[in-house]
Amino acid sequence: MFWLTRGPAGRVGQAGVPTVCWPIMAMFLVELSKRVGRAVYRKPASIPVIFREGLAMRLAVMLIHKLGLQAGGMTLSMLRRANMLAEQGWDARVVTTEPNALYASVDRHYRSIGRLREGARIQNLWDYLRDCNTPDDVVIPPLPEPPEGSYAAPTRADGRGKRFFMPHLNVYKEYWEWREDDSLSYRDIFDDAHVRIRRLVYDERSTLWREISYDAYGNKIRQDRFLTVDGYCYLTRWITIQEQQVTTALYFDRNSGSVHEFRSQTELEVWALNKLAKEGDRAPLFIGDGIGGIRTLPQVFENDAVRVMQIHSNHFSGPRDQGGELRKDHADVFRRANEVDRVVLLTEEQRSDVVAEFGNADRYAVIPHVEDARPVSGIERDPHRVVSATRFAPEKRLDLLVDAFAKVVRRVPKAHLVLVGDGPERAALASRVTSHSLEEHVTFEPWSSRVDVEYAASAVSVLTSSFEGYALSIGESLVQGTPVVAFDVKYGPRQQLADGGGVLVPFGDVSKLAAAITTLLENPRLQRETAERGRANVFEQRSSDRVYARWVSLVESVMADRAGCDG
């Protein structure tokens, strides 16, 4: 029997909660599997708990809404921090809040390319709740079968999409789509009027993960349900049609027989994060890497959690300088700084600007991103190769780099520019290359997980962003002994290259940008000396030991503040 308990807001309900028989069914199926030899699903083993002086491993959670397979600067910085903490004995998790069934494959992807190391992991919050309600041994349900007797009509050339029509009347009832690995992605269910009424979402094992119910027009979500491998519904959400906001969420705890009710998605996430905070040592570290973390982190109190908001980028939306218009989501974090334990910025200059605007100096700390790259060997450096590895987006101003390179090749005819990446500006950049007749001097290459090789093979790297928070590409380039030419913008390049490692150029000055690139290409000795100074600074300021010590100092200062208040 299930009992309804209070959620964070104190709502209580008792009527109309049905008796749930799934636990009994699951026990029956497990026993049946033992007798008839059916396959049994075993929950993926979590990272082993390490005990130190009788206490469990300390937990570190880096909170973000979603992660993709192509890692940008924020993703890389989070993975590097997770690796750093894991190496020091922490249970380090990058936790996503997006309802997506495929984060186990995202974890494997980053491991396969060396971005995620032993002891660190990517964990989806929904999968965490799913695992909490999945017994150690449950029967894997059989793969779903198409409607009996139905006709299948392929909709894609690769055969990964099919429509199913009911026999005789030939009414369109279901659409199925498979992933490239042949696992079932989802099924759409239609009524007789060809209106979608449900979508069944499957995980990479083709087991049902989420069931979505739609409105009368088949476009807006009305309700969704989240299920364990054996089909137990551990969570359901009721959603408004127009605003698509969660009004009620019900969590069915399979272990205790209780039901928790929440009034919003935020309440649900707060409760789940507090549940997570109870794992491991006292004072787990929660870092809001996604700017939306300010919605939930102030309410995470369990186990004396240390709550930190991390700022990854420039906080101005207009001119990227003091006095410009503030980005609303960042301003909200600064106004609510007293609601978390610390707000971490990447440079002293940004901290100074924020404190000047918002005060509360004791709430702000400066910790740069850790640099874990190592010099690669066996790569021959091309003395005429210039590289820029970035997203092809308007704020990256690669158009100005192409303009500057037209001037460079007049002085250095063998110069060759390699643009590594992709993005919405790809076509416009290609057109600009053509307009300058640079087809033989500019090459586009897709994004590579081995960007270190790209830097090691180049004489110079260039960063032309109109703003930055802290450019990981600068450190990656310098570690490979490649000097950097960058626009002098807040906040990263200005501080990262202040003590050597490259040349700062006034923003937008194409002539000076071209001159800086040309000077380095024409002076190999200057290249080496400039890069060596920068590499020494990177290893001095951003080594794993140095950055870890700053995070430990932050946690200790928070605990000291709390002890002082208690005293």
SS (H, E, C) 494-554: HHHCCCCCEEEECCCCHHHHHHHHHHHHHCHHHHHHHHHHHHHHHHHHCCHHHHHHHHHHH
* pLDDT tens figures, 115-147: 999 999 999 999 999 999 999 888 888 888 888
Over its C-alpha atoms, the chain yields an Rg (Å, rounded) of 27
Which of 170-179, 243-252, 255-264, 536-545 is the least confident region? 536-545
* Cβ neighbourhood burial of 44 (10 Å; 0-12, 13-18, 19+): exposed
The pair of structure tokens assigned to 342 is: 């610390």
Provide the 10 A C-beta neighbour count for residue 445. 13
pLDDT of residue 36: 35
Mean pLDDT of the 70-77 span: 84
Give the list of residues 6+ apart from residue 434 with CB closer than 8 angstroms, or none: none
Contact 387, 453 (CB under 8 A): no
Who wins on pLDDT, 241 or 323? 241
How many Cα atoms are found within 13 Å in the side-chain-facing hemisphere of 202?
19
pLDDT of residue 29: 37
Contact 541, 368 (CB under 8 A): yes
pLDDT(260) > 50: yes
Distance of CA 1 to the CA centre of its chain: 39
Pairing of strands 233-239, 221-227: antiparallel
What is the rounded CA–CA span in Å between residue 282 and residue 303?
Answer: 5
Mean pLDDT of the 157-184 span: 92
DSSP-derived 3-state class of residue 239 = strand
pLDDT(407) > 50: yes
Q: What is the mean pLDDT of the chain?
A: 86
The pair of structure tokens assigned to 551 is: 């995070």
* pLDDT tens figures, 318-367: 555 656 788 899 999 999 999 999 999 999 989 999 999 999 999 999 99
Contact 502, 484 (CB under 8 A): yes
pLDDT of residue 9: 38
Contact 216, 235 (CB under 8 A): no
Q: What 3 state SS string does 76-118 have?
A: HHHHHHHHHHHHCCCEEEEEECCCCCCHHHHHHHHHHCCCCCC
Give the list of residues 6+ apart from residue 355 with CB closer than 8 angstroms, or none: 361, 364
pLDDT(43) > 50: no
DSSP-derived 3-state class of residue 455 = helix
pLDDT of residue 238: 98
Mean pLDDT of the 263-267 span: 97
Mean pLDDT of the 481-507 span: 87
- Burial track 504-540 (b if 16+ CB lie within 10 A, e otherwise): bbebeebebbbbbbbebbeeeeebeebbebbbebbee
Mean pLDDT of the 167-172 span: 86
Provide the 10 A C-beta neighbour count for residue 135. 18
Contact 459, 506 (CB under 8 A): no
The residue to which tokens 């099924």 are assigned? 187
What is the rounded CA–CA span in Å between residue 288 and residue 297?
Answer: 7
pLDDT of residue 372: 83
DSSP-derived 3-state class of residue 68 = coil
What is the rounded CA–CA span in Å between residue 169 and residue 37?
Answer: 40
Q: Quick one: which of 422, 463, 466, 508 has its CA closest to 314?
A: 466
pLDDT of residue 10: 35
Pairing of strands 3-5, 342-345: unpaired
| Helices 510-522 and 524-541, packing angle to 10 deg | 100
What is the rounded CA–CA span in Å between residue 319 and residue 374?
Answer: 36
Contact 288, 307 (CB under 8 A): yes
What is the rounded CA–CA span in Å between residue 256 and residue 262?
Answer: 18
What is the rounded CA–CA span in Å between residue 80 and residue 78?
Answer: 5
Q: Quick one: which of 271, 245, 278 has its CA closest to 125?
A: 271
Q: Quick one: which of 520, 515, 538, 511 has its CA closest to 484?
A: 520
**Residue 459 gets which letter from DSSP?**
S
pLDDT of residue 50: 32
How many Cα atoms are found within 13 Å in the side-chain-facing hemisphere of 37?
0
Q: How far is CA 61 from CA 120, 214, 498, in A?
A: 10, 33, 32
Cα four-point dihedral sign 288, 290, 292, 296: negative
Mean pLDDT of the 411-436 span: 94
What is the rounded CA–CA span in Å between residue 53 and residue 448?
Answer: 43
